[in-house]
Amino acid sequence: MNQSSLQVPAFSLILLIGVSGAGKSTFARRHFLPTEVISSDHCRALITDNENDQSATGDAFELLHWLAAKRLQRRRLTVIDATNVQADARQSLIDLGQQFNCPLVAIVLDMPEQVLNDRRKTRTDRSFADPVLHRQRRDLWLWTRYLEYEGFSTVYRLKSADEVDQIQVVRQS
């Protein structure tokens, strides 16, 4: 499949999937309106003024789901910017999409370890320990192999920074 253009239905629920530093928020900023993107970090910040406050994760996801439901109800394309590496974390979003008869799209940013390590060294907005990244990488590897069976109608897996740079997102009306 030619992956230089990612075709997505104009009304769809798009899950970005990738470990911390994979480039989900950068990708979301580049290809979608700010209002189309619901970010778990932003939801955390709305509640606690601190997007890194992990104690607010439960409330943040409640808010994320609530917002997503309101948008899908109005048939607005919606992008979820969260790691989404575990099947459990995706299930309630898949349920939500199905509830609104909304096509589900997965965009997996599966970046090489070297790229992730390089980005981590230069990143100033967030720092996290090695074990966290290792766990997320293991989860990505273990739990994103069968996305089509989970209910996604379209799955894109981007495996290098170059590939991500060249991508255009095309909306199908």
Looking at residue 17, its amino acid is I
Only one of the segments 13-21, 88-96, 99-107, 148-156 lies at the binding site for ligand CTP (rule: CB under 6 A); that segment is: 13-21
d(CA 117, CA 100): 39
Using a 10 angstrom Cβ sphere, with 0-12 exposed, 13-18 middle and 19 or more buried, the burial of residue 78 is buried
Side-chain half-sphere exposure of 69, counting CA atoms within 13 A? 10
- Residue 24 or 137 with smaller CB distance to ligand CTP: 24
- Residue 82 or 105 with smaller CB distance to ligand CTP: 82
25 interacts with ligand CTP by CB under 6 A: yes
Neighbours of 123 (CB within 10 A): 12
7 interacts with ligand CTP by CB under 6 A: no
Q: Which of 7, 9, 25, 154 touches Mg ion by CB under 5 A?
A: 25
154 interacts with Mg ion by CB under 5 A: no
Residues forming contacts to ligand CTP in the complex (CB under 6 A) are: 18, 20-26, 41, 83, 119, 123, 126, 161, 164
